[in-house]
Chains A and B, each alone.
Chain A
Amino acid sequence: MIKGMPKRRKDVILLFLIFIIAFTLITINVRGNKNSAIIESVIISVISPFQSIVTKSINKISNIWNMYIYLVNIQEENVRLKKEIDELREENNRYIEQNLRYKRLKDMLAFKEKGYGKMVMSEVVGFDPTGWSHLAIIDKGTRNGVKKGMPVLTHEGLVGHIIQSTPKFSKVLLITDVKSAVDAIVQRTRSGGIVVGNNKNICEMKYLAITADVEIMDKVISSGLGGIFPKGVIIGIVSAVQKEKYGLFQKVEVTPAANLSQLEEVFVITGN
C-alpha cells in the first residue's frame, strides 16, 4: 500500500499508525474493556504451554542433577529436613496465631479452627517478560476453578493474588509488585498497616502509626480486611524500621516469607 511513496511520508504514516494503534490499545485497556483481555488470553494461551514445557524440563533436568549426580543421599535428607523446618515454622506461626486469638477471645465458647479453605496446587510456568512488574504465570485457570482475585500462597507465606485467568493458565500479581497492596498487621502487637510492593524483592509496610510497637524480626500477617486475603497468612518478616522525627507514620521494610524469586509450586485458595 505504501510502496512507491516518498520516504519521509512513509515514515510519518508508519509513526502515525503505531501511535494510533498503541494509544487505542492503551485507552481500551485503561477503561477495562473486555477486548484487551481477549488479546491477553490468546497470547497467554499460545505462549504458556511452551513455558510450561520448558519450565518442567528445566525442573526435571535440575532434579536429575540434584538427585542423582550431586550427593544423592545428603541432598534427599537436606530437602526433607528443609521441608520439615518450613512445615514446623508454618505450624509454629499458626500456633502463635491461635494462641493470641485464644487470649483475645477466651470468653467465646465455640472456636472454629482457622483454615484457608479449598486450595488448588499449581506450578509456576513463567515470569514477567518486561522486568518492570513482578508477576508469575501458573498452570491452572478457570477450568480448575481459579478466578481473578483469588489469593495465592506457598507453605512459606503469601505470594500474591490472581489478576487474570484463561481456561488453562493464570497471572499472579506478586506482593512485591507496585500494584499490590495487602492489609496487614504485626503479629506480636496487632498494629495495622498496608504491605505494598516496590518492584524490589522486599515490601514496604505503609501507614503504620509512629507510635506503633514494631521491631526487626516481627512477623507481619494478613489482617483479612479487603476481602481478598484470608486472615493470619504470614506475609513476611520486618527487616528494617525507620522512625522519622516528624510525621505520622514509620517506614517499615518487610522481607516476604515466601521465596518469590524461586517459586515453583503455589496454592490458590479457590473457596472457603
Chain B
Amino acid sequence: MPILIFVFFTILIFTIQTTILRYISIGGVKPDIILIVTVYVGLRQGKEKGISTGFIFGLIQDSLSAGIIGVNALSKGLLGFIVGNVREKIMSENMITQSLFIFIATIFDGLILLLISETIFQEELGGRISLRPLFLQALYSSIIGPLLFLVLKWIKDKYVLLKKEAKRSGYRTI
C-alpha cells in the first residue's frame, strides 16, 4: 500500500479510536479498531505487513497513552506476525471465523500486555489490565470487527478498481 494512503488511514483510525469511539463505549469499554485493522492487515497482506503495521500502530498507541513506549508496539507487532502466519490455515472470509479471530486476538494482545506488566514492569503497569474489561472489549471488538472488515474490503476493492482504471487511461496514482 502506498505510504501516503497508509499515513492517511493511520491518522483516520487513531482519530476515530481516540474521539468518536467513546460515544459508543459500553460501561467504559470500547472496541479496539486499531487491533481489528492489525488483524485485517495480517490476514490479508501476510506477516511482513502484519508485523510492521502492528508495530507502528502499537508505537502510536503507546505514544498517545500513559503507558510505556514499546509495550503495545511489541504486542501488536507479535499479533500481526502470528495472524499473518496462521492466515493460510483458516477460512478468513467467514464472518464467524473473523469474529472468533478478533476475540482471540484481543485476549492475546491483553495477555501479552498483562504478562509484560506482571513480569517486567510490575510497578509501572501493574493493575492497569484486568480480565473482565478485557473480555468485554474482546466481545465488543468481535462484534464490530467483521463489519469493519467489510468496510476495509470495500475500500480496498474500490482502490484497486481506481488504480486499474487510472492505469488504463494512463494516469499515475498515489
Contacts and interface: CB of A to CB of B under 8 A. Distances in A.
Contacts of A130: 61-62, 65, 67, 72
B72 A178 contact: no
Contact of A18 (B74, B113, B133): B74
Contacts of B77: 18, 22
B67 A47 contact: no
B40 to A, nearest CB: 17
A19 B129 CA distance: 21
Contacts of B11: 46-47, 50
Nearest to A53: B15
Contacts of A140: none
Contacts of A44: 63-64
Contacts of A23: 70, 74
A191 interface: no
Most B C-beta atoms less than 10 A away, residue of A15, A18, A40, A261 = A18
B45 interface: no
Contact of B59 (A11, A39, A261): A39
B172 interface: no
A137 B66 contact: no
A15 B81 contact: yes
A25 interface: yes
Contacts of A26: 68-71, 74, 120-121
Nearest to B33: A129
Given A30-B68, A51-B15, A131-B137, A11 B47 contact: yes
Nearest to B75: A22
B78 to A, nearest CB: 7
A265 B84 CA distance: 42
A126 interface: yes
Nearest to A164: B66
A227 to B, nearest CB: 20
Interface stretch (A83-91, A149-157, A195-203, A216-224): A195-203
B101 interface: no
A21 B16 CA distance: 27
Contacts of A21: 55, 70, 73
A128 B18 contact: yes
Contacts of B30: 131
A132 to B, nearest CB: 5
A133 B128 contact: yes
B69 A199 contact: no
B64 A128 contact: yes
A163 interface: yes
A199 B77 CA distance: 25
B104 to A, nearest CB: 17
Contacts of B68: 26, 29-30
A44 B38 CA distance: 20
A47 B19 contact: no
Interface of A: 11, 14-15, 18-19, 21-26, 28-30, 36, 39-40, 43-44, 46-47, 50-51, 54-55, 58, 125-135, 137, 163, 171, 173, 177-179, 198-201, 261
Given A22-B55, A24-B70, A25-B62, 5 more contacts: A22-B71, A30-B121, A54-B15, A127-B22, A133-B67
Pairs A-B, 4 closest by C-beta atoms: A25-B70, A22-B74, A126-B18, A26-B70
